[in-house]
Structure formats: C-alpha cells, structure tokens
Amino acid sequence: MAATDLSAADLLPLVSQLNAEYARAIDDDRLEDWPGFFVERCVYKITSADNHRKGLPVGVIYADSRGMLHDRVAALREANIYERQSYRHLVGLPAIRGEDDAAVRAETPFLVVRIMRDGRMDLFATGRYLDTLVEDAGALRFRERIVVCDSSRIDTLLAIPL
C-alpha cells in the first residue's frame, strides 16, 4: 500500500493512529521511542506562529535526521531537568491536506497540559503540527513535522518534544 493510493477518509484513521501513538510515547516518558516515528532523513522543528509567519529562522529546536532526535533524547536523559513534571497531549482532529510526490500532508492542532509534581496543572502549549508523512517500511512516518506554537513565549528550557 502506498499512502498516496488512499483517500482522505481512508487516511484519517491512519494519521489519527500515528498522532495518538506519538503523543502516548511522549506522555508515557518513552522518549527513546520518539525518533522511531520519523524517517531517517527527516525534519523536526519547533517554532512560534510569529516566526513561522515571518519566515524567520527557527529559534527553539531543529533536527534534520533521526540521529539528531536520538541525541536530543540522550541529552534530555542526562540533564534530567524535566523530572518534576509530566505532560498530557490532547491532539485534535487532523486535517488531511492532500498529497504530492508520494507523501501525505496533514495539519493537526494540539494542546499540552503540564502537571507539576505537587498536582498543579497549567496550559503549557497550544499550536499545530504541519506534517509531511510517507510510507516507510510498512508504516506511516513523519518526513517532516513542524511544530508551530501559538505563543511566542516558549519555555527556553523546553525539555520534552512536542
């Protein structure tokens, strides 16, 4: 099955499942599984809506290979700066944006709540995922995931992937 042989209605459950599993991996603190959602030569970046609109360079996180994502997880594990909180992703309904050259584009809103060790909860981030997905070794994977945060006040100590 090539992803591109499928209609938007067929793709929706596949893209939904991918998003659900991606969010679970992060919220379950299985960060080592996170790079596996991407193809080897991928783009992952976190930016703000303002910077994205103005075409400004990414200020927060940029990676262009699965290896860089693994490195980031290793650094996070070493720094261990996020131990005192957990996160909960609520991923909205994906909008399937069409297909070109054997890839599927999707745009999906998200909201992340941060839960402090003392039980307090706050809105940590909202935004949208701008994704390019391809079939890779029998699974749908991200060739590109651009995380556009609505707020420009992104925590510079941002630890977890979004």
Least distance (Å) between residue 51 CB and a copy of itself: 13
The nearer residue to a copy of itself, 136 or 150, going by C-beta atoms, is: 150
By beta-carbon proximity to a copy of itself, the closer residue of 57 and 119 is 119
| Shortest Å, Cβ 7 to a copy of itself | 9
Q: How far apart are CA 133 and CA 94, in angstroms?
A: 12
Name the residues that contact a copy of itself, by CB under 8 A.
8-9, 12-14, 16-17, 19-21, 23-24, 27, 49, 86, 88-96, 107-111, 113, 115, 118-123, 126-128, 150-153
Query: Of 35 and 127, which CB lies nearer to a copy of itself in the complex structure?
Result: 127
